[in-house]
Chain A
Amino acid sequence: MGKITFVEHSGTAHIVEIAEGQSLMQTAIDNGVPGIDADCGGACACGTCHVILHSDWVQAAGSINADEQGMLGLTPEKTDASRLACQITVSEALDGLIVHLPEFQM
């Protein structure tokens, strides 16, 4: 079973198992990873599951649609590797993915 590593802003790492087909946001929530609010429950409508992917994984995570781009624009801490975790579907192809959590969700 593949693994994903979430790294909190403080540096604390959480290694969790991949649940095929689940969103990256749900994966974090189900495993009690702190730092993701997901207020809207995965509707790409609040921007509070903002994560920053390790640069090696930006391509593999897939493309960003206009809605996600719009919501990411509301986050002052946005970087080139920023994504909304609710818009990434995890699969074995993401085995080894490293995800950094921002200091705050907005």
Chain B
Amino acid sequence: MNPLKPLLEPVIQPVLNKATAIIPIHWQIKGAHAFQHAKNRVGRGRPVPTFKEVPLPEVSTLALQDIDLSNPFLYRQGLWHSYFKRLRDECPVHYQKHSPFGPFWSITRYEDILFVDTHHDLFSAEPIISIGPQPEGLEIETFIAMDPPKHDVQRQAVQGVVAPKNLAQMEALIRSRTADVLDQLPIDEPFDWVQKVSIELTSRMLATLFDFPFDQRHKLAYWSDVAAGAPESTGGNANTDEFFRAAADMAKQMSLLWREKEARKAAGEEPGFDLISLLLANDDTRDMINRPMEFMGNMVLLIIGGNDTTRNSMTGGVFALNQFPDEFTKLRKNPGLIPNMVSEIIRWQTPLAYMRRVAKQDVALNGQTIKKGDKVVMWYASGNRDERAFEQDPDQFIIDRKNVRKHLSFGFGVHRCMGNRLAEMQLRILWEEILKRFDHIEVLDEPGYVQSNFVRGYSTMNVKLSARH
């Protein structure tokens, strides 16, 4: 961190904000990109780690201090489960000194995660919630990574769009779009569920929430993947140039959309119920476009929030029901279990592995002392498999599991997932419509997994459908 930054920021910020009113955000991002290139050429840029996949060791062969949960291949190689279990049992508050992302604490038990998540007075969500930092030169501001009171103001401005009352009005639209996607699927021949169903449905939903041009909806999913895939943040494989290009393209399109809605509003048109119209209608956020990093931050947050999570739960549910075929039978016999199954899918998949915090003071937790300034990673994916918290074997997928709503996938406390009800509704409708049409969804081979320590996602999953008789 530049020691001059706190001194210069109050001076630079108003200048930047003034510049923004004149210079479009995507030009500024291009400028930042060029600046970053120049900085890297003269060796002043922060080095970006690269990750090359090698087979990882069994956790039993490692010393505790060498266990590194930040490795972006743990999920793909199917080792995450044993790594988490060892730490839960032997060292539930664990310090890794030498990861590629620097030192960090891992919290792996359910109760400890709940403690950290609900104590925003002790643990800050700033400046970002991934293990590693954001790409240099493009540090966006988003309320998932803000503490109260600023967090509260920004979140309250947008949360209305996914309030249950509005969702009830959106249900019919979501159902018809889901039905449309499912009706076009081939029967008795292999296809990729991730592309044809999970990505397609979540892109449609995002386009609806943003009132984004429907024929360009796949850009939303693409931007989301790139934004979540920066190697220095999550160990992903997006490259820096791609990242900046995607950010510039997104800034351009989202600014245009914003300006268009602003103009329509100024002309006295009744505002729509999309996210941008809501931001324009709120006194605290109506001029957000003049604060580029905040504007980009909110757009990115809402796009990622509505994308990876639901997408991978849509795939994960099919995968889980194939691994636990008795549950598929149970579901066919009793579709009334769908709402509970949806929560179980979200628990079992845990589409985002963790959220990161920074200790605001020294905190004693489960026998360890976390020092002020230390990074703390709450591994939801581990807490959701904690035998101490779930009575029925947490590694089993049980669609009628008791008390499943206590799962950690949405987080707890002030940062609890804003779109949780929308996500649940999308998944519920998907499964209701699936059961009307198909007797079975057979997973044909091992799915492809995303490279990340953050997103627990599928890149491909080949399936075959049998029609309902």
Contact = CB atoms under 8 A, between A and B. Distances in A.
Interface of A: 37, 39-41, 43-47, 67, 70-71, 73-74, 76-77, 103-106
Nearest to A39: B405
Contacts of A105: 164
Contacts of B155: 74
Contacts of B392: none
Given A45-B114, A46-B410, A103-B164, 9 more contacts: A40-B412, A41-B403, A45-B412, A73-B414, A74-B418, A77-B163, A104-B163, A105-B164, A106-B164
A77 B156 CA distance: 11
14 contacts: A37-B405, A40-B114, A43-B114, A43-B412, A45-B413, A45-B416, A74-B159, A74-B414, A74-B416, A76-B159, A76-B163, A77-B163, A104-B163, A105-B164
A47 B114 CA distance: 14
B117 A45 contact: yes
B160 interface: yes
A71 B406 contact: no
B165 A40 contact: no
A37 B410 CA distance: 14
Given A45-B412, A67-B118, A76-B160, A103 B152 contact: no
B160 A70 contact: no
Contacts of A39: 405-406, 410
A45 B160 contact: no
Main secondary structure of the interface of A (DSSP, over half): loop
A73 B406 CA distance: 21
Contacts of B416: 45-47, 74
B336 interface: no
A43 B421 CA distance: 20
B406 A41 contact: yes
B148 A70 contact: yes
B394 to A, nearest CB: 16
Contacts of A71: 413-414
A43 B118 contact: yes
A73 B118 CA distance: 15
A20 to B, nearest CB: 25
A104 B421 contact: yes
Interface in B138-158: 148, 152, 155-156
What 9 pairs across the A-B complex have the smallest Cβ distances?
Answer: A104-B164, A45-B412, A76-B163, A39-B405, A45-B118, A70-B414, A76-B160, A45-B413, A73-B152
Interface in B393-450: 403, 405-406, 410, 412-414, 416, 418, 420-421
Contacts, number: 58
A104 B118 contact: no
A74 B419 CA distance: 11
A68 B333 CA distance: 41
Contacts of B152: 70, 73
A90 B148 CA distance: 30
Contacts of B412: 40, 43, 45-46
A67 B120 CA distance: 10
Nearest to B415: A74
A60 to B, nearest CB: 27
A30 B21 CA distance: 57
A103 B165 contact: yes
Most buried by B among A37, A44, A76: A76
A40 B160 CA distance: 22
A41 B111 CA distance: 12
Contacts of A41: 403, 406
B249 to A, nearest CB: 32
Nearest to B117: A45
Contacts of B118: 43-45, 67
Interface string B160-200: 10011100100000000000000000000000000000000
A44 B414 CA distance: 10
Contact of B165 (A46, A47, A104): A104
Interface string B123-137: 000000000000000
Nearest to A103: B165
A37 to B, nearest CB: 6
Interface string B349-375: 000000000000000000000000000
Contacts of B418: 74
Contacts of B156: 73
Nearest to B167: A104
Nearest to B168: A104
A40 B406 contact: yes
Most buried by A among B114, B152, B164: B164
